[in-house]
Amino acid sequence: MAPPRKAAAARPVSRSQRPTGVEVGLVALLFLAVSLAAFALDFPPLIPAPEAFRARRERFLAKLPPHSIAILRSAPERLMSNDTDYLYRPDSDFYYLTGIEEPDTTAVLRNDPADGKRYLLFVRPRDPRRESYEGSRPGPQGAPAQYGSDAAFADSELANRLASWDPVSYRFSGYLAEAERLYLWDGNDGAWAEKFRKTYQGVRDRDAGPAEAVDARDVIHEMRVVKDEEEIRFLRRAAQVSARGHVLAMRAAAPGKWEFEVQQALDGYCSANGARRMAYPSIVGSGPNSTFLHWDKNNRQIQAGDVIVNDSGAEYGYYATDITRTYPASGHFSPEQRAIYEIVLDAQTQAMSLVKPGVRHEEIEQKSARVQTDGLIHLGLLSGDVERLLKEKTYRKFTLHGVSHWVGLDVHDKGKYEIAGASRVLEAGMVFTIEPGIYIPANTAGVDPKWWNIGVRIEDTILVTKDAMECLSCAAPREIEEVEKTVGRK
């Protein structure tokens, strides 16, 4: 950086040059207006619809055989350091069926209960002291009204209500004793899982209750592949907020700035519009860091001529989005950067053009691989027969990763990509990424140094519609001219 210029000697200001009270007031109002605009809420908060969770529970129970019980646990709180926890996030599968954001909660679902109570909750009891720190809890008394359950109890009552042994009749009673099939997910709460194991083993030792525990996630994950309208509402919002943030990040990028400054322009905007967290650690890689897929240190000072890869997406209402944009720090791509960018953009555009119901998921990968391989051959970075290169996946020397994954409550969402050994057929309501990329680190063997330190990835979150597709995140600039114009607009 150039040394600072020597300050000019101060000169007295004449009375006529001094601002009047009116002028000072106008400046203050202007400053206030700019400040308010900077913190304006562009996207009013979305509130989850309770009926959506109720509908999912009913669909889930309908998929289970008669006389089934499902027991699902919320995620535990996680220690970050000393006595400070991470910001709490419920387990995705638990949240998908319940909409509950509270730890130490167990949901019990039964598809044909004798008492007619299909949805039961076991929650933390009221605790005035803890609530004075954390805010009020519904407790067992308030949980049915707040969460839509048929009944609710203190979490400490779970074991006895699942199974109670009568020494007179030598029989078990309780929810487990009445069921023939158990679907279980412990929410990765190891302590709770061990307590439940002892309860369940005590029932099985007397040859009572379901003979085995089946992983409830197998059913839930298949449900999560096709999104309902409520999920799409939140996925669309996550993409909208993130795309707007990417525009601000582009405008913040410049030689001399730090990667974390570009990150904050995006992350801060998402936070200011209702995103409690990002869907994954934001990636801002400049220059040599652009060639690392998951660079998240974001601690390098950006240099003139760098290309920047920004892979960032907000989590909104627990729904993720996944967006990557690549742009030149100086406002214009070099000829080499532009050539690589054109290949990646063409691969994404052609892959997008295939998306519609009935197309197999693998066709997206295949189209992108072919376009990128053809482009790399044209630039002299690969040589040989394109069919052989595709068969041997030689293109992976530069492309490194697959081109698509599901998106939903997790950024790499749950769900199978193959059914009965064949690539899955796309259906309306599926949401996934299309994210081709080419990465050429410094000192890549056999590659002219003019190509070194160029990483390009373009990624968008795509919704399959009834007839074709909707790009949820394409409000963030992708075309070269638009990208350069946005970066240059300071």
Q: Which residues does the annotation mark as catalytic? A: 83, 294, 311, 322, 401, 405, 412, 435, 439, 457, 459
Q: What is the largest CA-CA distance in the chain?
A: 102
Q: Show the DSSP H helices in 253-334 as ranges.
A: 259-272
Eight-class DSSP state of 130: H
Cα radius of gyration (the chain) = 28
- Residue 158 host element (H or E): helix 158-162
Q: How far is CA 197 from CA 78, 119, 170, 182, 190, in A?
A: 22, 22, 21, 13, 10
Q: Which 3 state secondary structure label does DSSP give 230? A: helix
Rounded to whole angstroms, how far apart are CA atoms 330 and 397? 28
In the chain, count of helices (H) and strands (E)?
16, 23
Rounded to whole angstroms, how far apart are CA atoms 423 and 406? 14
Rounded to whole angstroms, how far apart are CA atoms 344 and 328? 15
Sheet of 277-278: strands edge to edge?
A: 277-278, 314-316, 319-320
Classify each residue of 65-95 as buried b or exposed e, where b means 16 or more C-beta atoms within 10 Å of its C-beta: eeebbbbbbbbbeeeeeeeeeeeebbbbbbb
Which among 333, 306, 319, 314 is positioned nearest to 263, based on CA atoms? 314
- Would you say the C-alpha torsion 204, 155, 101, 112 has a positive or negative sign? positive
